[in-house]
Amino acid sequence: MQLQVMNSPFNQEQTELLNRLLPTFTESQKVWLSGYLAGAAQAPIPSVLGVPSQQTADGTASKEVTILYGSQTGNARGLAKKASSTLEGKGFQVTVSAMSDFKPNNIKKVKNILIIVSTHGEGDPPDNALTFHEFLHGKRAPKLEELNFSVLSLGDSSYEFFCQTGKQFDARLEELGGTRLYPRFDCDLDYDEPAAEWLEGIINSLGEAKDGIPALTQAASTQTAESTYSRTNPFRAEVLDNLNLNGRGSNKETRHLELSLEGSGISFQPGDSLGIYPENDPELVSLLLEELKWNPEESVSINKQGEVLSLKDALSTYYEITTLTKPLLEKAAKLTANSDLEELLKDSEKVKAYLEGHDLLDVVREFGPVNSSPQEFVSILRKMPGRLYSIASSLTANPDEVHLTIGAVRYHAHGRDRKGVCSIFTADRLQSGDSVPIYIQHNENFKLPVNPETPIIMVGPGTGVAPFRSFMQEREEIGAEGKSWMFFGDQHFVTDFLYQTEWQKWLKDGVLTRMDVAFSRDTAEKVYVQHRMLEQSKELFQWLQEGAVVYICGDEKHMAHDVHQTLIGIIEKEGSLSREEAEAYLADMQQQKRYQRDVY
């Protein structure tokens, strides 16, 4: 689609700008724009794509809001989209952007900014917030006396640096002269209610926007409706198959789970994750009830809506009883009045050590008895969060199905055998014909290249192989011609080569260009995926120079960290660069979305 100057009402410069922009629009963007311009025809055009307008129709200051999100798994992005929709419905002009897509210097032009950001790992910003976070905390950050801001921070209170990134943004924006529209909210895993309360506070602080942009809400209604199922309204998916992928004699148990999406309207893309709401181990629930000495059938209210369950059902299906947090220990101390627990809480290092590997049963046994009613007791517990798993299938290749690759977690700690909540729920208690509550978590930070001819490099040992099975199924279906290279590792070739026959078939058919494997326990000296990458450093760097996108999936603390350092080393050596230049090279790849990680 090209505009011709001859019969156009636009001048040469405007025509050139439009001709550059139009081919980049998606169909939904074109529909939105046409509806938007139709609605704006009788009024001064408000802000589009963050370009400030001066006034609304009645001459008052415009109500423009910029929402920036930093998201690793997609929660912050989802909240940003919801906030945008709500604000637009109230008549505000909203620009939403990932922090990685926002030009940091443009913050000087913004009047109202909402930051929605998660904290990743040990208090780190998510990958797509790194550049903006670094800029804002650096010497080049401008004074922001004209800026109004508010921060919604997402985190997990079982981690030491709970909501650290949001707290840092909040403090830094104030330091630079910004004014809070509304106080920062720090949200735990069950974030829906506090996020809604925060947004309501934002709207009240901003005041109602004036009329004059009705097309925003009109256009929103023309977009394709998504499935009605979500994190807060999960779909009960039937189990089609549940297989152990490991061979006899393996030290591991890795389940391949196939679920039906029939009738749900749910869709997803390769790189997205699936959330499962599991149930707690019945044996653990029984032991906890025995220790508490309460009637398992006593009724307790579980939420603000007044929903009631028996104590046994509440502990089985609604509350988290395996993961401890410092806030939980502090609340438990008030119910037990135990001096030893109060003493423990005074030492942050001892608290950190205790949280690792202990659960609620340990707390009750070691610091009980609990001097409260069952209702008071359950009120200190967190709601059971969904467990996220990288999707291991393509919807194009397997319509109405979703596949997962889940490693069963079993270990011994502090005198007891322990079990992963969801992994053992799926391994031991889910059979074909059963159903399980699920939802899709979209992840825009882990996506195949738009151009199917772009080369890709995948690094995914163990269950980190999951999204790459999805990638290969998708690329096979669409006939992608770009080169592909897989690095896979596990303990033993004979028992632990997950999806071996599928990988071999993709290699044979040319869907996969090459594959390097590392089986750490098959050799005298342990060999991991990063060692295989070093062995192929010259060719790997050549792929990078050709524009390859690198994907990493798996354990963040060890594997992903080691692979990251290995990549920098390869770029430094093969590119004849300094360490700093190699780090900048990889950071630039990340900024271009050519270095993507799905790590946990």
CATH number for 326: 1.20.990.10
Helix (H) / strand (E) containing 412: strand 410-413
The domain boundary residue, chosen from 378, 398, 430 = 378
CATH of the domain at 395: 2.40.30.10
181 and 290 assigned to the same domain: no
The secondary structure of 282-351 as a DSSP string is: HHHHHHHHHHHT--TT-EEE-STT--EEEHHHIIIIIB--S---HHHHHHHHHHH--HHHHHHTT-HHHH
The segments of the chain whose pLDDT lies below 50 read 2-8, 27-28, 31-32, 35-36, 38-62, 210-225
Q: Specify whether the CB–CB gap between 93 and 55 falls below 8 A.
A: no
Beta bridge partners of 115: 68, 151
Please give the DSSP secondary-structure letter assigned to residue 2.
-
The domain boundary residue, chosen from 199, 222, 245 = 222
CATH of the domain at 472: 3.40.50.80
Is residue 451 one of the residues assigned to a domain? no
216 and 102 assigned to the same domain: yes
Residue 37: its pLDDT value, please? 53
Q: Containing domain of residue 322, as a range?
A: 282-378
Is residue 7 one of the residues assigned to a domain? no
296 and 356 assigned to the same domain: yes
Query: What does each C-alpha distance from 87 to 101, 199, 245, 364 come to in angstroms?
Result: 21, 9, 47, 45
286 and 270 assigned to the same domain: no
- CA-wise closest residue to 115 among 161, 174, 73, 62: 174
372 and 495 assigned to the same domain: no
Question: Residue 366 burial by CB count (10 A; 0-12/13-18/19+): exposed, middle or buried?
Answer: middle
Q: What confidence tens digit (pLDDT) does each residue in 240-265 have? A: 999 999 999 999 999 999 999 999 99
Residue 531: its pLDDT value, please? 97
CA–CA distance, 107 with 67 (Å, rounded to integer):
11
Is residue 1 one of the residues assigned to a domain? no
Residue 52: its pLDDT value, please? 35
Whether the pTM exceeds 0.85: the reply is no
The domain boundary residue, chosen from 378, 398, 433 = 378
Is residue 4 one of the residues assigned to a domain? no
CA–CA distance, 459 with 495 (Å, rounded to integer):
20
Helix (H) / strand (E) containing 14: helix 12-21
Is residue 523 one of the residues assigned to a domain? yes
User: Based on C-alpha coordinates, what's the Rg of the chain?
Assistant: 26
CA–CA distance, 451 with 465 (Å, rounded to integer):
22
Residue 216: its pLDDT value, please? 31
Residue 120: its pLDDT value, please? 87
The secondary structure of 153-212 as a DSSP string is: EE--TTSTTTTHHHHHHHHHHHHTT-EESS--EEE-S--HHHHHHHHHHHHHHH-PPPSS
392 and 369 assigned to the same domain: no
187 and 328 assigned to the same domain: no
489 and 591 assigned to the same domain: yes
48 and 197 assigned to the same domain: yes
154 and 293 assigned to the same domain: no
Q: What confidence tens digit (pLDDT) does each residue in 488-534 have? A: 999 999 999 999 999 999 999 999 999 999 999 999 999 999 999 99
Residue 6: its pLDDT value, please? 40
Encoded amino acid at 485, one letter: W
- Count of structural domains within the chain: 4
512 and 433 assigned to the same domain: no
Would you say how long the chain is, in residues? Answer: 600
Is residue 547 one of the residues assigned to a domain? yes
The secondary structure of 417-468 as a DSSP string is: EEE-HHHHHHHHH--TT-EEEEEEE--TTS---SSTTS-EEEE--GGGGHHH
Is residue 256 one of the residues assigned to a domain? yes
Is residue 229 one of the residues assigned to a domain? no
374 and 405 assigned to the same domain: no
